[in-house]
A and B are shown apart, each in its own frame.
Chain A
Amino acid sequence: MSIRNNRAWLFVLPALLVMALNAFIPFITVINYSLQDILPGLPAIDVGLENFQTVLKDDLFRNAFVRQLGFSFLILLIEVPLGVAIALALPKKSWRATVSLIVLGLPLLIPWNVVGIIWRVFTRSDLGIVPLFFNALGYDYNVALNPVDAYWTVVIMDVWHWTPLIVLLCYAGLNAIPDAFYQAAEIDGASSWRTFLYVTLPRLRSVLTIGILLRFMDSFRIYTEVFLLTGGGPGTTTTFLSDVLVRKAVGGFEFGYAAALSLIYFFVILVISYAFFLVLTNVSSGSRTR
């Protein structure tokens, strides 16, 4: 279908150059760090792969890693179906569509530190309205002391913050489906569930791939909001990978360790994202454009 033409590289070149400046040079620096033992004020010592071994044996890393995986899959399980459902239910025209779209955009437009601060105030037992609500129901909600409350508050915050992204992407995708498809399904007497499964969902594949990958990658790197909401606590209930990373790199000056950790981290996201990418692009691969 596409024309084979290697001069197309010329079109990609400007983007590639800008990306390379940002991607290659810092990446190489990080690889360098990961192979060294760096202490402030002293020359760096080459230590080979020792940092990688330390990271992989470290319980702090292992626990945070498992917690991170659980968190990322949990929020995908909540945000993706919820986002698709909301996008399907959104009004298509009139002022209500305008208002809905703007309200949906708002959480996405708030800087991440403000998101963390809002949720902190919203849920703090001495300032917030959420504890009042739960207390009225007879549940002693305390985000600072109760690990269960803290964990679910972080999950709910992320659902609040990022489901709109899935909704906006799916809404745009839904609008690209020609009405004729639905009319054909109706003539064939398909139930609404089967119409969704065989007409709507396959046509949403493209936007859902973007949405799922973005959410997976970004949730794996979540830091600012959680740090401001719970500070990783109570205990280590909400200590995710970036939190470990920042503690080591900024707090502990363990650059070698942090660099090795971030390369492992990067590799894990890469592998899982690639798996998602392959699965999502090969489902109903008959309609692939190339």
Chain B
Amino acid sequence: MKPRRLWVNVLMIVYFLFLAAPLAWMLSMSFKTNAEILTTRSLLPQQPTTANYEEIFTEPFWRESFINSLSYVLLNTVITLAVSVPAAYAFSRFSFTGDNHLFFWLLTNRMAPEAVFLLPYFQLYSAIKLFDTPYAVALAHTLFSIPLAIWILEGFMSGIPREIDETAFIDGYSFFGFFRKIFLPLIGPGIGVAAFFSFLFSWVELLMARTLTGVNAKPIAVTLSRSLGAEGWDWGVIAAAGVLMIIPGAILIYFVRNYLAKGFALGRV
């Protein structure tokens, strides 16, 4: 590789400072009392307190909504992968009537402005009796996650030579045997990356999750925006919840980082 020049390092340092600054501010706020947040502005808390975190860990509704969020996000990831892996296989290995149009159509589903689709979604999921369950949110989120997952997986699968499929069939593998024993391990990295993005977009989405849940399945992002104290926003608790909400994703990205490093092959586009 070519030697790294000075300006590259400067760019990286400036960029990562920019990236970290709001996060550091949030982390610092999460250890401050509301009085301190509103009166002084210092980078480090003057009187560090863990009261904000204690409030979150002791209030049952925080824990419940955290579990609610995690359950629809995981459900969404599972559904997405279960239907996307075969679909991506079809796109990468076969050409069939309407395949290119279908591929683009899948993507168009990310374009629907959520705000107006909220009411139809509410009606739809009430009609099929899934309102206020994690299933409703998980299914609704597949609208965004399936197209992306298919796209990512198709890219990875196209990087695996077709000869591998053919050799396996000649060796007497059944289709499912081949898929399970040979193909799935090969596209492991792709599945990791697709799972990461499904998780990500489901975890951060709020409008739909809020519309499709009532009391029982309320997600954590909604609980968060309702934590209004008597004097307005409870900034410290919000910051602490924000910090805690990053953790599951950060763990996930730690595990998929090597897959990201392995990269996409050249796919359909």
Contact = CB atoms under 8 A, between A and B. Distances in A.
A3 B38 contact: no
Interface residues of A, number: 108
A49 to B, nearest CB: 17
Given A11-B90, A102-B250, A112 B102 contact: no
B266 A289 contact: yes
Contact of A173 (B1, B119, B158, B263): B263
B116 A9 contact: no
Interface stretch (A59-67, A69-77, A119-127): A119-127
B114 A221 contact: yes
Nearest to A173: B264
Given A15-B84, A122-B22, A111 B120 contact: no
A12 interface: yes
A27 B110 contact: no
Interface string A175-193: 1110000100000000010
B29 A19 contact: no
Interface string B53-95: 0000000000000000000000000010011101101110111
Interface in B211-254: 220-221, 224-225, 233, 235, 238-239, 241-242, 245-246, 248-250, 253-254
A209 interface: yes
Given A18-B139, A108-B204, A26 B120 contact: yes
A102 B253 contact: yes
Contacts of B250: 102, 105-106, 109
- The size bracket of the interface on B is 35 or more
A232 interface: no
Contact of B116 (A8, A173, A214, A245): A245
A200 interface: no
Contact of B146 (A15, A164, A209, A265): A15
B154 to A, nearest CB: 10
A104 B108 contact: no
B218 to A, nearest CB: 13
Interface of B: 1-2, 4, 8, 11-12, 15-16, 18-23, 25-26, 29, 37-38, 41, 43, 79, 82-84, 86-87, 89-91, 93-97, 99, 102, 104, 106-121, 123-124, 139-140, 142-143, 146-148, 150-152, 155, 158-159, 193, 200, 203-207, 220-221, 224-225, 233, 235, 238-239, 241-242, 245-246, 248-250, 253-254, 257, 260-269
